[in-house]
Amino acid sequence: MERIFEFLFKYPPLFFEQGDFTFGAPMSVRLWLIIAGLLGAATVASYTIARGKSTVTDRGVMAGLRVLLLAVIIVCLLQPSLILSTVVPQQNFVGILIDDSQSMLLADENGELRNSFINEEFASGESELLQQLSDRFALRFFRFSDVAGRVDNPSELAYEGTHTNLSRALDVAREELSGVPLSGLVMITDGADNDNQPLAESLVPLQAAGIPVFTVGLGEESITPDIELGRIEMPRAVLEGSSLTVDVVITQTGFEGGTVPLIVEDELQIIAEETVELGPDGEPVVARIYFELEGVGPRRVSFRIPPQPEERVNRNNARSVQVEVRGEREKVLYFEGEPRFEVKFMRRAVEEDENIQLVVLQRTAESKFLRLDVDDGSELEFGFPTSREEMYRYRALILGSVEASFFTHDQLQMIADFVSERGGGLLLLGGHGAFAEGGWQGTPVEEVMPVVLSSPADDPQGFFAEVEVIPTPAGLTHPAVLLGVEQDQVRERWDSLPSVTTVNPISQVRPGATALLSGSGEQLALEQIVLAFQRYGRGKSIALTIQDSWLWQMHADVPLEDQSHETFWKQMIRWLVDGVPEAVEAVTDREQVEPGENVQLVTNVGDSSYIEVNNATVTARITSPTGTVEELPVSWTVQRDGEYSVEFRPLEQGEYEVEVTAERNGETLGSDKTYLYTAPSDDEYFSASRRTQTLRRIADETGGQFYTPEDVSSLPEDIRVTGAGVTLIEELDLWDMPFLFFLLLMLMGAEWGFRRIRGLI
Amino acid sequence: MSRSLLHLALLALALFTMLNTGCAPDSVEEATYLTPPGAEFMSQQAPPRVSRPSFVDSRGPRMDPNEIPGRYPFYWTRAIYSGWGRRGWGQSWATDYPKGDQQFLVVLKRLVRLNAYDWDNAIRLDDPTLRRFPIIYAVEVGGMDMTNPEVEGLRNYLDAGGFLIVDDFWGQREWDVFEYNIRRVYPDHPIVDITLDHPIYSAYYDIDEVKQVPAIGRAMYPAECYGCVPYVKGIYDEAGRLVVIINFNTDLGDAWEWAEDPRYPLEYSTYAYEMGANMIVYAMSH
């Protein structure tokens, strides 16, 4: 298209975009217009007064065509031209930025590598393109991947970069060439940036300096056929023995409608496998896979899809995730307002779980409590905690059938803060003293609840209903309600469990909350919300509105060997404590880096009441894979209360252990451990297709142009007219454009044709 | 504090019962259900209905068929088993029934914050509904002669998480009968002494002595057999959980039943109620 344009209009479109249009005729344009008007009038008059076979319409058409012909001739006589600001040859510089990352070694459909364009046009030193560029400009070459720098000759490129950072490349080139007249930058790349640095920050200075960037896109826009593992949603720390539900995003082209196995490995041992049905080409599917991790400590969990027949890129079929399996006993406080069998059966369900310490405080009479599984005689000595320090020792709180009036207002506020500020998990069980029936409306805790409380029933006997429980669509994929069976059997398993009962009619969840289990029954007018949850502040709250889940263990319809009740409660309590923060928490900005890359360690420090501390002494003890220990002070960031950070650079390959300790006035506030894995990255093989949109954006926003190897030949001439650097004004004639000649011929031909048709010749 | 409360409750019960001459009959056939004794003392929930029909079949009364199990967190449930009693075949389970059960509930609800069904409840061991009541009470097991379905029903019940309280049997002969029957349920589980350091003695009241609780007519001569010594024994499941508690050479049920009688020594009724509260609180939490 561009070639046709250039043939008709003599110059490429870019010239017309860049140049100013003018007329070069010696007389004024106004005089020419008067002459044109007179000639036109004379023409029309001659046709008007002519006599013969022609009708008025015929004469009108012919006069019009003749006037147009005259107009074209007048335009040519006006000597139209383009005024262009063109660079002065050999007085300007052009920076040529060449992608030096691994993705340049990917082959296209014909087996040709992406870097072959670079080798032919730049590394060989003999190409016409390079010659034309060299004739016009002084060339400076840069290589870039995750870093960027000058290179004397493109033949030195090794294509070993494991990341691509376009922003950094533009910044480095602009800064290096800031002292010379620069006509533009040429960026030769596939555009597959995987450092995710905002481009705008690099484009604004280029726009301000008037430096156009000409981008040359290499590679294909779609690699077909190919399967790629995308994002993996997995927590960075889990409790030992917890069932994990991990979402894996899989994208593909060329395998539409097929199935592939997704394999999960822990230290080279397969721990889960799932068959994934692929969707339409280009549309990602989310595969959900379940597994457990045994053994305490840091782990590399690998997800992979075996290479498929004829697949173009295999190295994007696998990803690894660093996860810490924690062996601590998570302390959960279960406060029950009266003797109930829920206590007995919940304790039975989790008694073998070494990672859960279910501390029970059961009110057996007014001001009389039974304490179970406490650490010592002083724990909960005076009943329910009265201070934040006492309560925040627990990672989760379960409230049974206990009326709101039992608590002081401070304690109610403390329960709400336990969730929102401390980030703890709160589970509310059904019962005569729970929800609306327990007078919880209007309390600070009501806000935390994931369900909407209705008014208590007027019936003096109270509401009572049997409930058949079924999972909601959201529940079918939630680990807490899977009951340890495959996903397609979850519904069936719930159907096999006996009905339970409720005394709290609840039929609505709060906006933002999710219902996982619902129930129906003869005594229920509306569908009962059985299990619902929501995030609240830093923590989460869960409502289980039934009062006798123990029937799932004890009922005669449940086989003795059935583990549904045990599994349900284990998963519920593990979910409750999952992700609950510590007072001191350390995390690195990335879980895997390459040796030599900088890592940001961020630590949040709070005291025992989880109030942020800004005057702590925080130390990071970093142990390398070979056992070298380095201690670094971690400083308060000032921007956020309680946030400390430090940057370090791991040089060895393997697993780094980072232990952070926070002290204040000689008193230890807490410590935390996190892990970091250093290894060469395969990022270059993920999302490696050409990013045309990104490259077009860079060109458009800086006044440059986007090219492919097929149309890059006009690049030297295009740079010449960009106007950057040392320039001179050049006037380009347009009167001899072939388009005008063709137009004249067309108009003359049209009049002749018209006469023939009308029989006027 | 709590012990004073117990004494107060017992005295109140005694006074109330003396002023109201009618006592529930001791036999199943004569059972008439009126307002439960001591209902006025119940403060923790709405008063029960004024009258209640009798439900009697060949094996004994049942819960009101209109009542759906589960409305209350707790039902004091008596085990119906096959065996010989003083009143003939099939009646040994019903000793002190239902007066003892009803009176025990009245006092228990005054002492423990327990949201319990107000009426007695008796279930056969081979009835699947048994599994809805995780604590059952069996008395006079010295006359026990369980059928195979009852043995299986009890075994499944205990394996599923149920708790059995055994009471009121005396002497070696009755022990042998009970042991034979319970061995059919759990052939390999040893019957062990529950010593005073066990948490069941401190689950609600602190009990530091196992007392021999006599029947109403034997207050002066507690033992029903010569030289009998009271024991509290138990059976644990494979996971080390206490699933059966055996009150041997003692009769807690009579103390619960006759606590209001001025002839019955307060010492024994106090102990029986303390032990009863402890067993309930323990079994509902362990």
Q: How confident is the model at residue A146 (pLDDT cuts 50, 70, 90)?
A: confident
* DSSP of A253-308: ES-TT-EEEEEEEETTEEEEEEEEE--STT--EEEEEEEE--SSEEEEEEEE-PPP
Beta-strand pair B77-80/B121-124: parallel
Region A270-295 average pLDDT: 90
Q: ∠ at Cα A250 (A244, A253), nearest 5°? A: 165
Q: For a pLDDT cut of 90, what percent of chain A falls above it?
A: 67
Per CB-CB distance under 8 Å, the chain B contacts of A461 are 46, 71
Which residue in A366, A401, A501 is closest to B70 by CB distance? A501
- Is the pLDDT at B39 greater than 80? The verdict is no
Whether A501 and B284 lie within 8 Å, measured CB to CB: no
| Chain B residue at shortest CA distance from A523 | B68
* DSSP of A102-160: GGGG-B-TTS-BTTHHHIIIIISS--HHHHHHHHHSEEEEEEESSSEEEES-GGG----
Q: Which of A87-96, A453-462, B222-231 has the highest mean pLDDT?
A: A87-96
Query: Within a domain: residue A128?
Result: no
Residues A361, A459 share a domain: yes
CA distance A355 to A436: 33
Residues A470, A363 share a domain: yes
Residues A148, A15 share a domain: no
Predicted confidence at residue B36, as pLDDT, reads 37
- Is the pLDDT at B40 greater than 80? The verdict is no
Predicted confidence at residue A267, as pLDDT, reads 82
| Chain A residue at shortest CA distance from B286 | A344
Cβ atoms B106, A359 nearer than 8 A: no
| Chain A residue at shortest CA distance from B279 | A339
Per CB-CB distance under 8 Å, the chain A contacts of B285 are 339, 343-344, 347, 360, 362, 370, 372
CA distance A148 to A175: 11
Predicted confidence at residue A288, as pLDDT, reads 86
Whether A343 and B281 lie within 8 Å, measured CB to CB: no
* B contact test, residue of A351, A358, A369, A370 with most B CBs within 10 A: A370
Closest CA–CA distance from residue B109 to any residue of chain A (Å): 10
Q: How confident is the model at residue B7 (pLDDT cuts 50, 70, 90)?
A: low
Query: Within a domain: residue A635?
Result: yes
Closest CA–CA distance from residue B171 to any residue of chain A (Å): 33
Whether B285 and A363 lie within 8 Å, measured CB to CB: no
Q: For a pLDDT cut of 90, what percent of chain B falls above it?
A: 60
Which residue in B71, B113, B115 is closest to A364 by CB distance? B113
DSSP annotation of A488 reads: G
Predicted confidence at residue A566, as pLDDT, reads 95
Predicted confidence at residue A379, as pLDDT, reads 96
- Is the pLDDT at B263 greater than 50? The verdict is yes
Q: Which of A110, A99, A124 is nearest to A191 (CA)?
A: A99
Whether A339 and B281 lie within 8 Å, measured CB to CB: yes
Residue A269, domain CATH: 2.60.40.10
Segment among A392-401, A590-599, A703-712 with least mean pLDDT: A590-599
Closest CA–CA distance from residue A330 to any residue of chain B (Å): 20
Residues A370, A480 share a domain: yes
- Is the pLDDT at A704 greater than 50? The verdict is yes
Please name every residue paired with A658 in a beta bridge, in sequence order, or none if there are none: A622, A674
- Is the pLDDT at A94 greater than 50? The verdict is yes
- Is the pLDDT at A726 greater than 60? The verdict is yes
Closest CA–CA distance from residue B221 to any residue of chain A (Å): 35
CA distance A694 to A682: 21
Q: If phi over 0 gives left and psi between -120 and 50 gives alpha, with beta otherwise, what is residue A541?
A: beta
Residue B38, domain CATH: 3.40.50.12140
Beta-strand pair B77-80/B135-139: parallel
Amino acid at site A528: Q
Closest CA–CA distance from residue B168 to any residue of chain A (Å): 26
Segment among A124-138, A413-427, B84-98, B106-120 with least mean pLDDT: B84-98
Whether A554 and B131 lie within 8 Å, measured CB to CB: yes
Residues A553, A502 share a domain: yes
Element (H, E) at A598: none
The alpha-helical segments, DSSP class H, found in A282-431 are 341-350, 388-391, 409-420
Whether B115 and A432 lie within 8 Å, measured CB to CB: yes
Number of Cβ atoms within 10 Å of the Cβ of A55:
11
- Is the pLDDT at A601 greater than 80? The verdict is yes
Segment among A39-48, A426-435, B10-19 with least mean pLDDT: B10-19
Domain closes at, from A540, A556, A577: A577
Cβ contacts below 8 Å, chain A against chain B, sum to 104
Per-residue pLDDT tens for A29-87? Answer: 788 888 888 888 888 888 887 767 778 888 888 888 888 988 888 888 888 888 887 77
Whether A370 and B285 lie within 8 Å, measured CB to CB: yes
Q: How confident is the model at residue A245 (pLDDT cuts 50, 70, 90)?
A: confident
Query: Within a domain: residue A720?
Result: no
Per CB-CB distance under 8 Å, the chain B contacts of A432 are 73, 115
Query: Within a domain: residue A112?
Result: yes
Cβ atoms A652, A660 nearer than 8 A: no
Predicted confidence at residue A727, as pLDDT, reads 79
Region A583-607 average pLDDT: 92
* A contact test, residue of B8, B285, B286 with most A CBs within 10 A: B285
CA distance B253 to B103: 10
Segment among A291-300, A626-635, B88-97 with least mean pLDDT: B88-97
Output the CA torsion A214→A219→A220→A224 (10° steps). Answer: -160
Residue A629, domain CATH: 2.60.40.1930
Closest CA–CA distance from residue B102 to any residue of chain A (Å): 19
Q: How many domains does chain B have?
A: 1
Closest CA–CA distance from residue B134 to any residue of chain A (Å): 8
Number of Cβ atoms within 10 Å of the Cβ of A266:
19
Predicted confidence at residue B51, as pLDDT, reads 41
CA distance A324 to A96: 45
Per CB-CB distance under 8 Å, the chain B contacts of A547 are 70, 73
Residues A174, A232 share a domain: no
Query: Within a domain: residue A714?
Result: no
CA distance A515 to A535: 13
Q: Which of A674, A672, A668, A666 is nearest to A608 (CA)?
A: A668
Which residue in A337, A364, A555 is closest to B131 by CB distance? A555
Closest CA–CA distance from residue B203 to any residue of chain A (Å): 7
Residues A66, A47 share a domain: yes
Which residue in B113, B114, B156 is closest to A560 by CB distance? B156
Q: How many domains does chain A have?
A: 5
Whether A351 and B239 lie within 8 Å, measured CB to CB: yes
- Kindly report the average pLDDT of chain A as a whole number: 91
Residues A82, A96 share a domain: no
Query: Within a domain: residue A712?
Result: no
Element (H, E) at A534: strand A528-536
Whether A344 and B283 lie within 8 Å, measured CB to CB: yes
Beta strands in chain B (DSSP E): 56-57, 60-61, 77-80, 84-85, 88-89, 121-124, 135-139, 163-167, 191-193, 231-236, 242-248
Which residue in A338, A372, A553 is closest to B73 by CB distance? A338
Predicted confidence at residue B47, as pLDDT, reads 35
Which residue in B114, B161, B281 is closest to A345 by CB distance? B161
Residues A115, A187 share a domain: yes
Beta strands in A545-598 (DSSP E): 584-588, 592-593
Is ipTM strictly over 0.90? no
Region B222-248 average pLDDT: 91
Per CB-CB distance under 8 Å, the chain A contacts of B242 are none
CA distance A293 to A266: 8
**3-state class (DSSP) for residue B75:** coil
- Is the pLDDT at B2 greater than 60? The verdict is no
Residues A529, A569 share a domain: yes
Domain closes at, from A527, A550, A577: A577
Residues A403, A432 share a domain: yes
Beta-strand pair A318-326/A237-239: parallel
Tokens 């508690």 identify what position? Answer: B245
Predicted confidence at residue A19, as pLDDT, reads 83
User: At CB < 8 A and 24+ separation, what contacts does B151-157 make?
Assistant: B151/B125, B151/B181, B151/B184, B151/B185, B152/B126, B153/B124, B153/B125, B153/B126, B153/B127, B153/B128, B154/B79, B154/B125, B154/B185, B155/B185, B155/B186, B156/A556, B156/A560, B156/B131, B157/B125, B157/B130, B157/B131
Per CB-CB distance under 8 Å, the chain A contacts of B159 are 560
Beta-strand pair A138-144/A93-99: parallel
Q: How confident is the model at residue A332 (pLDDT cuts 50, 70, 90)?
A: very high
Domain closes at, from A326, A346, A376: A326
Per CB-CB distance under 8 Å, the chain B contacts of A351 are 239
Whether A368 and B2 lie within 8 Å, measured CB to CB: yes
Per-residue pLDDT tens for A311-325? Answer: 999 999 999 998 889
Range of the domain at A79: 2-86+731-758
Which residue in A340, A500, A556 is closest to B73 by CB distance? A340
Q: For a pLDDT cut of 70, what percent of chain A falls above it?
A: 100
Whether B285 and A343 lie within 8 Å, measured CB to CB: yes
Range of the domain at B18: 2-283
Closest CA–CA distance from residue A434 to any residue of chain B (Å): 13
Residues A749, A694 share a domain: no
Whether B73 and A555 lie within 8 Å, measured CB to CB: no
Per CB-CB distance under 8 Å, the chain A contacts of B105 are none
Region A370-397 average pLDDT: 96
CA distance A345 to A701: 66
Dihedral angle sign, alpha carbons of residues A616, A617, A621, A622? positive
